[in-house]
Amino acid sequence: MGKILKFSGNNIDRLEVQRRDEAWISDILINPESKVIVYNKSKVLVKKIFSNITLKFISLGDIKSKGIEPELILLGDLSGELYLATDLYDFEDDKVNSILSDGDEFIDCRTAGDQLSLSQGGMISHSKSQLEWNRKNIFCGICGSKTNGQRGGQSRKCLGCYIELFPRTDPVIITLVSNGDYCLLGQSKGRLSKLNIYSCLAGFVDQGESIEEAVAREIMEESGIKVKNVNYYASQPWPFPWSLMIGCHAEAETNEINYDEHEMHSVKWFHRDEVLKALKEANDNLSVPGSIAIAHHLIKAWATKEV
């Protein structure tokens, strides 16, 4: 097993064999004892005790006792208990809030993933991505008919043309390019430039492209730098909405930056000493992503000469 980063480490048994039995699933989805991870408009329910948070699981019976009939997916089994998930986006806030107790709060999943234990962060990436995929695929992309959730949310079937749809995972390459004691970091337009954070360059893998080809293309597009020796380092599920980050290191073959101003706010070379200070949050001139992001680990591994 390689590096386990936040949003991975999910210990749920997804019950691949049992979930083929639709009658068994139907029973689970009405069992009042089943534990439910609850979302409201993609924010997840946690219990806050002082500054500590843990996922708050509510029994299906308690949710239904408030007059809520949730749409559910089956996550699987953890330590002999069955876990479901729902997003109550369709219900009015007053009704949703009626299921909360003292200290319960819906928070954004980036914050939750950063602060929860590794295994609970992994439960978020599993449940959030699968709930969103189900919600965005209620109509067939071929014939436009309604689709029906199957296998507890792990597939959907069109009621018109009967095609089966499966949850998507979108691969994204993210790469730290280095040249001796310098590494290449950039700010995409939007979130990173607003926060003044420099990170590794990243982009979606195109259809018909290998990981190495995607790295070479993205780095060329975003910085004008040609790369060689692309090496895989680690991966990370990233549930916004259903990406898989594929982290790599690569060496620069050229040095002159010529970045795409449509996509990037800034791209620069930074010396290893500057980067080491930034990792300790002690550099006024450079901020890098925190440890929730795979970019942090790619930068750190190069800066500390682990790779």
Binding site for Zn ion (CB under 5 A): 140, 142-143, 145, 158, 160-161
Kindly tell me which of 163 and 244 has the beta carbon lying closer to Zn ion. 163
Nearer to Zn ion, 162 or 204 (CB): 162
Phi-psi region of 196 (alpha: psi -120 to 50; beta: other; left: phi over 0): left
Q: Which is nearer to Zn ion, 158 or 227 (CB)?
A: 158
**Beta carbon of residue 166, minimum distance to Zn ion (angstroms, whole number):** 14
Q: Which is nearer to Zn ion, 89 or 139 (CB)?
A: 139
CB of 157 to Zn ion, least distance (A): 9
Q: Which is nearer to Zn ion, 43 or 156 (CB)?
A: 156
SS3 23: helix
- Kindly tell me which of 143 and 307 has the beta carbon lying closer to Zn ion: 143
CB of 152 to Zn ion, least distance (A): 21
Find the shortest distance in angstroms from Cβ 21 to Zn ion. 25
Contacts of 299 (CB under 8 A, 6+ apart): 176, 183, 185, 199, 200, 275, 279, 288, 289
- Is 145 or 179 the residue whose CB approaches Zn ion more closely? 145
Minimum CB separation from Zn ion for residue 143, in Å? Answer: 3
**Whole-angstrom Cα distance, residue 138 to residue 245?**
26
Minimal distance in Å, beta carbon 163 to Zn ion? Answer: 5
The span from the CA of 101 to the CA of 305, in Å, is 48
- CB burial string 80-108: b at 16+ within 10 A, e below: eebbbbbbbeebeeeebeebbeeeeebee
β-pair partners for 49: 52
Rounded Cα–Cα distance for residues 127 and 86 (Å): 8
Identify which of residues 72 and 158 has a Cβ nearer to Zn ion in the complex. Answer: 158
CB of residue 148 to Zn ion, shortest distance in Å: 11
Judge whether 200 and 232 are in contact, CB under 8 Å: no
CA distance 67 to 45: 19
- Closest approach, Cβ 145 to Zn ion, in A, equals 5
Q: Cα–Cα–Cα angle for 136, 138, 140, nearest 5°?
A: 105
Q: Which of 8, 151, 134 shows the shortest CA–CA distance to 74?
A: 151
Phi, psi of 160 (to 5 degrees): -100, -60
Q: Which amino acid is at 112?
A: A
